[in-house]
Amino acid sequence: MAVEVLTDMSHPLDLADRESLLKSATTALNSKVVSQHSSQLAPIAVDAVLRVVDPAKDTNVDLRDIKVIRMHGSTTINIKTTLEMLYGSWNEVRQSTIRNCFADAGFVLPADEEEVQPEDQAELDRTWDRLAVPGVEFDDFVSADENLAVAPELTDQEIVDRVLLPEDDSSSDSGESERDEPTMSSADAADMARRLKGYLEKLPTTKTADVEKALLSMDNVENFILRSAVKSHQTKITSFFK
């Protein structure tokens, strides 16, 4: 039954019709492992067939009569053997070969994970036995410095002194700062303003706009000091009628 179906589906080939032969050869090669090269192999196969037959009288061809001759030697193989060799070669391609081809083409491949070698348990046991301290357990090792004295113990009086010391220091510092900052009198401030004004007037660049602006500011400062001094010392007229 299957043979009859295939016979009904088949199309007769004419060895004189190269295009139909090319189409049939391409279709046949598309089902092979070399299908990606069918467009190159089909013309070679058809031309090889046409060279060993006479289209005018032959109706069939034995593929074993088709030989592929290597140019540098006398070894010959037929086209059937060639296809078998291609198929076998593809099956022999290893994963590492494909990976190296991608690497040569410039693709970055993930690094192979290094196999973790299992450690020798016996060697580890010998190491632990050599490093172990007799009579010392793991808990003893962890709590070895638990009660270690890192600071001297303070007496009650020393604790009180340390608590009160910051207040004493702050009070003494504030007293020293008050003593170190004497109050300046109005006369001293006015004298300092006049001295600064005299310094500015003696500068070689007295006529510049910056110096003139500074002199004007010093005049204002001096006048302010004098007015403040008068206000702080002037007695009200009503005080004389008390």
Q: Which domain holds residue 192?
A: 186-232
Residue 14 domain flag: yes
pLDDT band at 142 (very low <50, low <70, confident <90, very high): confident
What's the total number of domains in the chain? 2
Residue 220 domain flag: yes
Boundary of a domain, candidates 104, 131, 164? 104
Q: φ and ψ at 233, to 5 degrees?
A: -110, -15
Residue 171 domain flag: no
Is the model's pLDDT at 239 over the cut of 60?
no
pLDDT band at 162 (very low <50, low <70, confident <90, very high): confident
Average pLDDT, the chain: 73
Q: What is the pTM of this model?
A: 0.26
40-54, 68-82, 116-130, 147-161: least confident range: 68-82
How many angstroms separate the Cα of 241 from the Cα of each of 232, 234, 238?
20, 16, 6
Average pLDDT over residues 27-42: 77
pLDDT value for 68: 57
Residue 72 domain flag: yes
Is the model's pLDDT at 182 over the cut of 80?
no
Residue 71 domain flag: yes
Boundary of a domain, candidates 104, 137, 156? 104
Q: What is the pLDDT of residues 84-102, one digit of tens each?
A: 777 777 788 788 888 887 7
Distance CA 206, CA 220 (A): 18
Radius of gyration of the chain (CA): 56
**What value, to the nearest 5°, has the Cα angle with vertex 105 and ends 104 and 111?**
65
Residue 115 domain flag: no
Residue 153 domain flag: no
Boundary of a domain, candidates 104, 131, 159? 104
Q: Which amino acid is at 218?
A: M
DSSP-derived 3-state class of residue 21: helix
76-78/67-69 β-pairing: antiparallel
Report the run of H or E that residue 98 belongs to, with start and end.
helix 95-104
Residue 215 domain flag: yes
Distance CA 91, CA 84 (A): 11
